[in-house]
Amino acid sequence: MFCRQCEQTHGGTSCTVQGACGKTPAAAALQDLLIYGLEGIGVFADQARMLGAKDESIDRFVIEGLFTTITNVNFDPVKLEGLVRQSFEVREKAQKLFRDAFRQKNAKSFAGVLPAVDAWVPATDTAGLLAQAKDAGLLAPGLNEDVQSLRELLLYGLKGMAAYADHAAILGEKNETVNAFFHKGLAALADTAKSADELTALVMELGKTNLSCMEMLDHAHNKLFGSPVPTHVSLGVTKGPAIVVSGHDLMDLRQLLEQTKNKSVNIYTHGEMLPAHAYPELKKYKHLVGHYGTAWQNQQEEFAKWPFAILMTTNCIQRPMKAYADRIFTTGLAAFPDVEHIAASGGTKDFSRVIKKAIALGGFKENVKDKSIMVGFAHGALLGAADKILAAVKAGDLRHIFLIGGCDGAKPGRNYYTEFAEKTPKDSVILTLACGKFRFNRLDLGTLGEFPRLMDVGQCNDTYSAIKVAVALAEALHTDVNSLPLSLILSWYEQKAVCILITLLSLGIKNMRLGPTLPAFVSPGVLKLLVEKFGIKPTTTPDADLKAILG
Ligand code: SF4
Ligand code: SF3
């Protein structure tokens, strides 16, 4: 196997024997082959679209296939093998779509040559597929290292955008530019002759396309669940049956809340589900009682502690420990061997097995008091208070805004973000989003005027909110985002964060600090481009970085 798509990659270079995340060589190989299958679909679907032909089922398969291969989503070789085989069928469908559209337009059959992926037919058995996967990885022999690096950047960005597009699709939203770009990007990956310049342009186009994708997701969330409002969330627990819900899928949470009404089962968010408490259409459920635990990498310890049922809606799932293996469920694209999966049927999910398990287990044995934290500072709330924020900036009361956002992770070095937050001056505020916030969201950083100094914008899925606020502030101050008293301190782990970084770059945002380590797939040449053109800096120490920012 060869995988270096996430920050946890072995030795900071690549996982070659076993994934540091727990991904087996078989799962890794099948994911490579799935991507190869998706590239083939992309080639035909991209050509078909240029002729005005499209098929929604092809678009959905590609989005789900890409999301499936994100770190900590699907570890199940059986499911992955099924998807690989399906990718061949979908490719044939895309091929027919293209050839029919060509014939219709040109009154003759297509006789040209498309990239070689169209020759692949899946082997009949698993061993055969694993053998095929050896040649299917993204590392094409003989490629220049910068081209290779850009190909990976493009692929991982596509995976990230697929996650956002999938969440939006579940909520009934789609966007033609976004759907078309998946095929364009995959077709480009199938073509190993693409130059570094062409790939760089595609990466930038991906960034801009992802902004539309995230806007669509933001729109869907606000339309269905209301605009988030600042809300206190208890970190304590109440005695009694409980279900802990993790991941990012708010629709899963809503369906579970509906199905647990009047059942004496309390629902707790976990990890990236924390911001759900701020949505009016979710917080109205009185049995959504609080948030349990911290970020994904602590789940094995946190889930083992009490006998509650667990529902993993998306990333990040880790190998379940024996202590809770029989009470954890996956849904959506999340999958782990031998973990019970709740599939959708006609858009709805039946969580009765999760609920039954929660009732049988009994849940928390006692009340545990803890503090509460605040969530709900999305663009609706922040822009509603824009006049006050602007007045504070103009009066010099608010000296600086830090956006400390991104993923949490298992490797050491992430205390940087805790220390950074602690050391920010009292006349500054911190906006945060995604699961990296668990490094500091229990800190009491006080208030600045009527604002808490730490404001939670939402999940990684809500990055659009932060961008919208930054752009609005810049407009109100008649300047650009780079000239605002604003610094972005980012932490990455997986490919959704890679995609967000690409989006920020495509918006021309400069001087971001990125940690805890730089991606292994970024070559020296690509790093030079990122540093020279965008002023990207690796995080150093909180003191040194704060001094460099504030002077
Ligand atoms: Fe390694 Fe990350 Fe790939 Fe898992 S996803 S195999 S940890 S690089
Ligand atoms: Fe976290 Fe997995 Fe990236 Fe949603 S839950 S941000 S790592």
CATH of the domain at 64: 1.20.1270.20
Which of 70, 159, 302, 315 should be mutated for ligand 2, with most atoms under 8 A from CB? 315
pLDDT, one tens digit per residue, over 272-316 is 999 999 999 999 999 999 999 999 999 999 999 999 999 999 999
Q: pLDDT-derived band of residue 115, with 50, 70 and 90 as boundaries?
A: confident
Query: Do 501 and 357 share a structural domain?
Result: no
Q: Provide the domain count of the chain.
A: 3
Looking at 189, 224, 259, the residue that finishes a domain is 224
How large is the angle between the packed helices 463-476 and 196-225, nearest 10 degrees?
Answer: 100
For ligand 1, the distance from its centroid to the CA atom of residue 14, given in whole angstroms, is 7
Q: What is the mean pLDDT of the chain?
A: 97
Name the closest-CA residue to atom 3, ligand 2.
407
d(CA 428, CA 258): 40
Q: Are 436 and 458 in contact (CB under 8 A)?
A: no
What pLDDT, on the 0 to 100 scale, is given for residue 381?
Answer: 97
Q: In ligand 1, which atom is closest to the CA atom of 22?
A: 4
Q: Is the pTM of this model over 0.75?
A: yes
Query: Do 235 and 206 share a structural domain?
Result: no
Name the closest-CA residue to atom 5, ligand 1.
71
For ligand 1, the distance from its centroid to the CA atom of residue 23, given in whole angstroms, is 7
For ligand 1, the distance from its centroid to the CA atom of residue 8, given in whole angstroms, is 6
For ligand 2, the distance from its centroid to the CA atom of residue 499, given in whole angstroms, is 12
Query: Do 483 and 438 share a structural domain?
Result: yes
For ligand 1, the distance from its centroid to the CA atom of residue 288, given in whole angstroms, is 34
Name the closest-CA residue to atom 3, ligand 1.
3
Query: Do 488 and 410 share a structural domain?
Result: yes
**Ligand 2 pocket, 296 CB below 6 A?**
yes
Query: Do 98 and 217 share a structural domain?
Result: yes
Query: Do 545 and 517 share a structural domain?
Result: yes
Q: Residue-wise over 456-484: b if at least 16 C-beta within 10 A, else e?
A: bbbbbbbbbbbbbbbebbbeeeeeebeeb
d(CA 503, CA 463): 10
CA distances from 206 to 158, 232, 237, 286, 451 (A): 7, 36, 42, 41, 35
> Two tokens at 7?
């920050």
Query: Do 426 and 535 share a structural domain?
Result: yes
Q: Is residue 368 part of a domain?
A: no
Query: Do 535 and 407 share a structural domain?
Result: yes
Q: pLDDT-derived band of residue 174, with 50, 70 and 90 as boundaries?
A: very high
Domain region containing 461: 379-550
Residue range 404-409: mean pLDDT, rounded: 98
Query: Do 239 and 183 share a structural domain?
Result: no
Query: Do 183 and 58 share a structural domain?
Result: yes
What pLDDT, on the 0 to 100 scale, is given for residue 124?
Answer: 97
Q: In ligand 2, which atom is closest to the CA atom of 494?
A: 3
**Ligand 1 pocket, 19 CB below 6 A?**
yes
Here the CATH number for the domain that contains residue 456 is 3.40.50.2030
Q: Are 458 and 275 in contact (CB under 8 A)?
A: yes
Q: Are 270 and 245 in contact (CB under 8 A)?
A: yes
Query: Do 102 and 188 share a structural domain?
Result: yes
**Ligand 2 pocket, 497 CB below 6 A?**
yes
What pLDDT, on the 0 to 100 scale, is given for residue 90?
Answer: 98
